[in-house]
Amino acid sequence: MARKKDNERKPATEQAIIEEAQRELRVIWWRYTLWITILMLVAPLVMTVLAALLRLGQVSFLVLNFVVVFVLVQVMLYQVRRSYLRLKQLGRTAVQKHLWQAARVALEPFSRFGNRGFDWDGEAHYLLMRTYLSLGDAPRAAKVRDFLLRHRRGKWAERARKAVPLEEEN
């Protein structure tokens, strides 16, 4: 049987999950910093040299500029999405093991304004809602549930709807 790679192993303890989630958040921060630096410093320099060597006109330079920036942003977002998938996996593992503090650390980044789009299907928000309910933080759980019901469709929104009894909705 083949050994799992280090990044495929599931941490066993609450502290291990918290450390892995914090490491993943640092990786996200560094990736953003690296790609923004590339977009602001390296890409313009390379595009200017390329335009001079190829003797591109103004319109061709604008098209080249658009294509290069578009490709670099897509690569950056792809790498950041992979980190958020890892955070979701860590949160799922923590919820399955009832390690609520670790689940909160791994899943809370999904509830922040700019990061909500990394949870396309709503699973991370559902797991975060369950985590808040288990920690006894009903107001936060209600906010996450409201967001989930308002902005996501599918099985996770339906599970969230069924997770809290109807008399609490009113």
Decide: 14 and 99 in contact? Cβ < 8 Å: yes
Query: What is the tens place of the pLDDT at every residue in 33-42?
Result: 988 888 888 8
Domain for residue 4, yes or no? no
pLDDT range class, residue 164, cuts 50, 70, 90: low
Domain membership of residue 118 as a residue range: 12-168
Domain for residue 142, yes or no? yes
Domain for residue 119, yes or no? yes
Domain for residue 97, yes or no? yes
pLDDT range class, residue 30, cuts 50, 70, 90: very high
How far the first Cα of the chain sits from its last, in Å, is 53
Query: What is the tens place of the pLDDT at every residue in 86-141?
Result: 999 999 999 999 999 999 999 999 988 888 888 888 999 999 999 999 999 999 99
Number of domains the chain contains = 1
Domain for residue 1, yes or no? no
If one compares 62 and 105, the residue with the highest pLDDT of the two is 105
CA 154 to chain centre: 19
Residue 78's pLDDT is: 92
Domain for residue 99, yes or no? yes
How far are the Cα atoms of 8, 17, 74, 87, 137 from residue 80, in angstroms, in the given order? 17, 19, 10, 11, 29
pTM: 0.76
Residue 67 has pLDDT above 90, yes or no: no
Number of Cβ atoms within 10 Å of the Cβ of 121: 14
Q: Which residue has the tokens 């560094």?
A: 30
Any alpha helices (H) in the chain, and if so which ranges?
Answer: 14-37, 43-54, 58-96, 100-107, 123-135, 138-151, 155-163
